Amino acid sequence: MTDVDALDDAIDEASPRLHAELFELLRLPSISTDPAHAADVRRTAEWLATRAGRAGLVTSVEETPGHPIVIARHTESADAPTLLVYGHYDVQPPEPLDAWRTPPFEPTVREGVLYGRGAADDKSQVFLQLAAAELARARGALPINLILLFEGEEEIGSPGLSEFVRERAAELRADHVLIADSMMYAPGQPSLILGMRGMAYFEIEVRTGEHDLHSGQYGGAVPNPASVLAAILASLHDAERRVTLDGFYDDVKAAPPELEAAWRALPFDEAMFRAGAGGARAGGEPGYTTTERLWVRPALDVNGLVSGYGGPGKKTVLPASALAKLSCRLVPDQDPVRVEAAMRAHVARLAPDDVTVTVRLLQANRPWREDPDAPLYRAAAGALEEVFGRAPVRVGHGGTLPIAPELRDALSAPVAVMGFALPGANMHAPNEWFPLDHVAKGMKTMIRLYAGLRSAARHNPIQ
Amino acid sequence: MTDVDALDDAIDEASPRLHAELFELLRLPSISTDPAHAADVRRTAEWLATRAGRAGLVTSVEETPGHPIVIARHTESADAPTLLVYGHYDVQPPEPLDAWRTPPFEPTVREGVLYGRGAADDKSQVFLQLAAAELARARGALPINLILLFEGEEEIGSPGLSEFVRERAAELRADHVLIADSMMYAPGQPSLILGMRGMAYFEIEVRTGEHDLHSGQYGGAVPNPASVLAAILASLHDAERRVTLDGFYDDVKAAPPELEAAWRALPFDEAMFRAGAGGARAGGEPGYTTTERLWVRPALDVNGLVSGYGGPGKKTVLPASALAKLSCRLVPDQDPVRVEAAMRAHVARLAPDDVTVTVRLLQANRPWREDPDAPLYRAAAGALEEVFGRAPVRVGHGGTLPIAPELRDALSAPVAVMGFALPGANMHAPNEWFPLDHVAKGMKTMIRLYAGLRSAARHNPIQ
């Protein structure tokens, strides 16, 4: 029996006890967005710190202007590589409650699937990192320096994380950063995420006056802000749904040809895509596959419209204002600052003189993409293949993970994203779930990853 | 002392008692839209019927599927002309209550102005019709047949009126119809309304799927219904804000040249217009004045937009649907049926294949315009000039009064609209008001109108 087989056995043996502990963690309603749950969020941080201390890790609860950050570390030696693993212990609100088959904060297992708020996002994945470190350490199989960093504000946009990491960069110095908060590409098919899109989120408001008017008494004699807004929004795409902002595509960089080829070879199930999209049909920029449209092409989407009367039936109101929320998803090397300038110039050109048009930037995040040959990716790929019996696919992701470029830049280390939830996990929705056996599989992946990294080159060698 | 002077004196003498009665009427919260006030609406109908009976009129409370209609009549002789006066005794809800200086259903007089819900719309005007008929009749000065018809559902769109009038057309047969529910053009400046615009109110819904999606996970790879809707809405006007629906202007008939000239001569105060419009600037179809844009030109306005997320801040949602409410205001001889067909054809041409676009017609009303030389207008003009010392201006109105074309068609008689409220009366808003002395002035106008009609030609002579 090899060391790793013995560790696998130990993981399996410990599983019932570990599941019971994970359920404890899932019962804590650490809803970061709700001030009424602030004490629950802190209790969850303390629960994790206590548990990490028992695991033999050097642990602290670090204050931020918001919810605390838990740091737990194992120091192997000065010349061993350092892996920083990021996760978050806060969760989304559980509403609507009546859509849950079992209560969100009473973890329940049905047919091998664990249900509960945070089961996928991200408590099971946080917990398995802690448990893997504990078991590996106890058996002398943690040959690297490990820093676990668990934040409590991911679901509210990680407002305190960037500053914290920049301020503590020296003590958080790492060679590799793993973001343990995502899902596999398909059941049985592990994956490594190599890049995610950035974002420029805007609000455009068209205003004519202070209050809505009677559409009979004024209709045709004052400008209609909703019509002005519609003309602006309609102008943002051409007839083939390409974005028309000046220079929008100038900085778009193609993915490496090897990845592009791999992505074209990925199975794409149109029917499954459509089912996941609530029946919406695939469609977008001409000349690209759905995968490319999501992973390597930018997009501009209207996220919301509000103007005048939106209730049932009719109201003969002439709105005084019309508001659109819209966001660009950006790919390397697009820069949200340049996109913002293009948006402002575009809207300014179209805004009529007799209305007031305001553009507000609500959020800006750079896109992120890593080298698929980075040591962390190679080590993770080997570990995943051993545990799942299948080489991981290297994928992109259409969403935005602001912490990926932020951690990379603050720590000057390459970032990898790897997770064990499955597609359709109902993250942010009722009946969130996680395959219970993925707790052990995730741990088994991590103990192999530790070993693989030990032999890999260090990214930030001591200077 | 002439007969009419004696009547004027009688009106002035009776005023304190009449005001007290009007206050009683205003205290009844006859809110037709609120089922909780159904008994109050009925009590108001009964109050009016009792009062009309005391005035010597033959009175009935007529049932409809909704709130009752009060009919009160004076029969002079078979060969006298018949005037039907329409008013409504229901009121709008008073909310927001905290915006009222004095409670909405406690009528209060401050500096000669009567405040209360229904003061302008339409209880003072209903009451003065009743009181004028009573005094004239008591003194043998009601030389025509008079039918007062007061409905209790005007504020909810008069759902029962059309059918009632058509069914009772024989007993409601009249030579002239007066709608006693409107306002004067300006303080001291009486007016007669010669036409109002019709309406075609639509809902356009663009739908891609059953539920909203994550804009990162799907953005760029499925159609965005809000962008599709924006393109449709933007296409409904050209760059100069003309409506682009096929044939939209084909049936537009110019107003009589004499009226056009009169309207161009009407004072238009840009600053006052803008203040009334909450600061919005005048602007619209090129080549027309504001007055023309409202009275003789049709318009198409977006009344509301709803899609995705409309709350504060940002939400990265890709909407599954986008909804617009929009309405055309129509002028003679535009036909809402033709406009509906043009709208459906226009939207069908623009709807992409990969989304579902639905057009719903929510309301259709024909425009209405009367001959300014009709006997009722002539008689009313003379009466108004005597009472207010100034000839009335003949005006149009941009709004829609569905009952005007309906009463005209059901009774085959010309319709006139005349009212005594003043601009800015806060109809449908807090602190609704009516100049208290206009109760007497309205009565004095009506007694002159009775006399004037007696000598005018009958529109529907006995056959």
CA distance A282 to chain B (A): 5
pLDDT for residue A125: 98
Q: Which of A236, A208, A202, A400 is nearest to A304 (CA)?
A: A202
Q: Which of B75, B70, B8 is nearest to B42 (CA)?
A: B70
Would you say residue B346 lies in a domain? yes
Residue in B314, B347, B365 to test binding to A, most A beta-carbons within 10 Å = B314
Site of tokens 């080489």: A391
pLDDT for residue A461: 63
Residue B7's SS3 state is helix
* Chain B residues inside the 8 Å CB shell of A279: 208-210
Residue A266: pLDDT over 90: no
Question: Both A163 and A221 in a single domain?
Answer: no
Residue B275's SS3 state is helix
Question: Both A324 and A398 in a single domain?
Answer: no
When pLDDT is cut at 50, 70 and 90, the band that residue A393 belongs to is very high
**Distance between alpha carbon A384 and the CA centroid of its chain, in Å?**
20
* Exposed/middle/buried for residue A455 (C-beta within 10 Å: 0-12, 13-18, 19+): exposed
pLDDT for residue B263: 85
The CATH number linked to B416 is 3.40.630.10
Tokens of B459: 């529109």
**pLDDT mean over A299-304:** 97
The CATH number linked to B314 is 3.30.70.360
- The string of pLDDT tens digits covering residues A340-360 is 999 999 999 999 999 999 999
Share of residues in chain A with pLDDT > 90 (%): 84
**pLDDT mean over A379-396:** 96
**Distance between alpha carbon B79 and the CA centroid of its chain, in Å?**
32
pLDDT for residue A336: 97
Average pLDDT, rounded, for chain B: 94
pLDDT for residue A456: 77
Partner residue facing A301 (CB), from B224, B282, B323: B224
Q: Cα–Cα distance between B186 and A403 in angstroms, integer? A: 63
Q: Cα–Cα distance between B286 and B299 in angstroms, integer? A: 12
pLDDT for residue B412: 93
Residue B291: DSSP 8-state: H
Tokens of B246: 């096929």
Residue A105: pLDDT over 60: yes
Partner residue facing B285 (CB), from A220, A298, A301: A220
Residue B432: pLDDT over 80: yes
In B180-324, alpha helices (H) = 215-218, 225-234, 257-265, 270-276, 290-295
Secondary structure E strands in A42-168: 58-62, 69-74, 82-88, 108-110, 113-115, 145-151
In B288-424, alpha helices (H) = 290-295, 336-350, 375-388, 403-411
DSSP string for B429-457? STT-EEETHHHHHHHHHHHHHHHHHHHSP
Q: Cα–Cα distance between A89 and B12 in angstroms, integer? A: 80
Which domain-ending residue is among B336, B364, B392? B364
Cβ–Cβ of A214/B399 closer than 8 Å?
yes
pLDDT for residue A262: 84
**pLDDT mean over A133-142:** 96
Would you say residue A257 lies in a domain? no
Question: Both A99 and A215 in a single domain?
Answer: no
Helix or strand (DSSP H, E) at A199: strand A198-207
Cβ–Cβ of B314/A201 closer than 8 Å?
yes
CA dihedral A310, A316, A321, A322 (to 10 degrees): 40
- The string of pLDDT tens digits covering residues A174-202 is 999 999 999 999 999 999 999 999 999 99
When pLDDT is cut at 50, 70 and 90, the band that residue A457 belongs to is low
Q: Cα–Cα distance between B155 and B396 in angstroms, integer? A: 21
CA dihedral A371, A376, A381, A384 (to 10 degrees): -140
- The string of pLDDT tens digits covering residues B242-278 is 999 999 999 999 988 888 888 888 888 889 899 889 9
**pLDDT mean over B389-417:** 93
pLDDT for residue B423: 87
Share of residues in chain B with pLDDT > 90 (%): 84
Question: Both A241 and A313 in a single domain?
Answer: yes
Partner residue facing A230 (CB), from B230, B282, B327: B230
Share of residues in chain A with pLDDT > 70 (%): 98
Residue A271: pLDDT over 70: yes
Q: What is the ipTM of this complex?
A: 0.88
Rounded to 10°, the helix B437-455/B3-27 angle is: 130
Residue B300: pLDDT over 80: yes
Cβ–Cβ of B227/A282 closer than 8 Å?
no
Partner residue facing A277 (CB), from B203, B213, B306: B213
Tokens of A193: 């995420």
Going by their DSSP bridges, the two strands B113-115 and A176-179 should be labelled as unpaired
Would you say residue A461 lies in a domain? no
CA distance B163 to chain A (A): 22
When pLDDT is cut at 50, 70 and 90, the band that residue B319 belongs to is very high
Residue B123: DSSP 8-state: I
Residue A285: pLDDT over 80: yes
Partner residue facing B277 (CB), from A222, A283, A316: A222
Residue A247 structural domain = 198-252+298-364
Question: Both B192 and B217 in a single domain?
Answer: no
Q: Cα–Cα distance between A116 and A172 in angstroms, integer? A: 32
Helices and strands per DSSP (H, E), number in chain B: 13, 18
Would you say residue A76 lies in a domain? yes
pTM: 0.88
SS3 content of chain A, % helix, strand, coil (to 5): 35, 25, 40
Torsional class of A160: left (φ above 0), alpha (ψ -120 to 50), beta (otherwise)? alpha
Question: Both B243 and B119 in a single domain?
Answer: no
Omega before residue B122 within 30° of 0, cis:
yes
pLDDT for residue B428: 82
Q: Which of A323, A333, A335, A324 is nearest to A365 (CA)?
A: A335
* Chain A residues inside the 8 Å CB shell of B316: 199, 201, 303, 327, 399-400
Residue A205 phi, psi dihedral angles, 5° rounding: -120, 130
Site of tokens 């050097």: A58
CA distance B140 to chain A (A): 41
Tokens of B135: 């005094």
pLDDT for residue A1: 52
Asked whether the beta carbons of B319 and A304 are under 8 A apart, the reply is: yes
CA distance B157 to chain A (A): 11
Question: Both B60 and B122 in a single domain?
Answer: yes
Which domain-ending residue is among B364, B392, B413? B364
How many CB pairs lie under 8 A apart between chains A and B? 287
The residue in chain B having the minimum alpha-carbon distance to the alpha carbon of residue A216 is B399
Residue A40: pLDDT over 60: yes
Q: Cα–Cα distance between A173 and A411 in angstroms, integer? A: 6
Asked whether the beta carbons of A26 and A105 are under 8 A apart, the reply is: yes
When pLDDT is cut at 50, 70 and 90, the band that residue A407 belongs to is very high
Question: Both B438 and B388 in a single domain?
Answer: yes
The residue in chain A having the minimum alpha-carbon distance to the alpha carbon of residue B329 is A216
Tokens of A331: 């790919």
Would you say residue B287 lies in a domain? no
- The string of pLDDT tens digits covering residues A65-79 is 999 999 999 999 999
Going by their DSSP bridges, the two strands B176-179 and B191-196 should be labelled as unpaired
Cβ–Cβ of B327/A215 closer than 8 Å?
yes
Cβ–Cβ of B317/A303 closer than 8 Å?
yes
Tokens of B79: 């060969």
Site of tokens 């966001």: A327
Question: Both B211 and B188 in a single domain?
Answer: no
Would you say residue A272 lies in a domain? no
- The string of pLDDT tens digits covering residues A358-373 is 999 999 999 999 988 8
Would you say residue A274 lies in a domain? no
User: Which range has the worst mean pLDDT, A247-251, A283-287, B3-7?
Assistant: B3-7
CA dihedral B168, B169, B175, B176 (to 10 degrees): 70
Tokens of A235: 């102008």
What Cα–Cα distance (Å) separates residue B142 from each residue in A182, B375, B449?
A: 86, 17, 10
Interior CA angle at A308 toward A307 and A310, to 5°? 90
- The string of pLDDT tens digits covering residues B103-145 is 999 999 999 999 999 999 999 999 999 999 999 999 999 999 9
Q: First-to-last CA distance in chain B?
A: 39
pLDDT for residue B2: 65
Question: Both B212 and B184 in a single domain?
Answer: no
DSSP string for A251-304? T--PPPHHHHHHHHHS---HHHHHHHTTTPPP--STT--HHHHHHTS-EEEEEE
Q: Which of A142, A140, A116, A114 is nearest to A129 (CA)?
A: A142
Asked whether the beta carbons of A199 and A188 are under 8 A apart, the reply is: no
Q: Which of A368, A348, A330 is nearest to A243 (CA)?
A: A330
CA distance A220 to chain B (A): 5
Residue A14: pLDDT over 70: yes
Amino acid at B4: V
Question: Both B127 and B206 in a single domain?
Answer: no
Would you say residue B275 lies in a domain? no
Partner residue facing B304 (CB), from A278, A308, A399: A308
SS3 content of chain B, % helix, strand, coil (to 5): 35, 25, 40
Asked whether the beta carbons of A293 and A286 are under 8 A apart, the reply is: no
Residue A463: pLDDT over 60: no
Question: Both B16 and B87 in a single domain?
Answer: yes
Which domain-ending residue is among A364, A380, A415? A364
Q: Cα–Cα distance between B397 and B370 in angstroms, integer? A: 12
pLDDT for residue A157: 83
Spatial CB neighbours of B344, under 8 Å, sequence gap ≥ 6: B359
Tokens of A18: 């570990």
Q: Cα–Cα distance between A312 and B18 in angstroms, integer? A: 41
Number of separate domains in chain A: 2
Cβ–Cβ of A227/B216 closer than 8 Å?
no
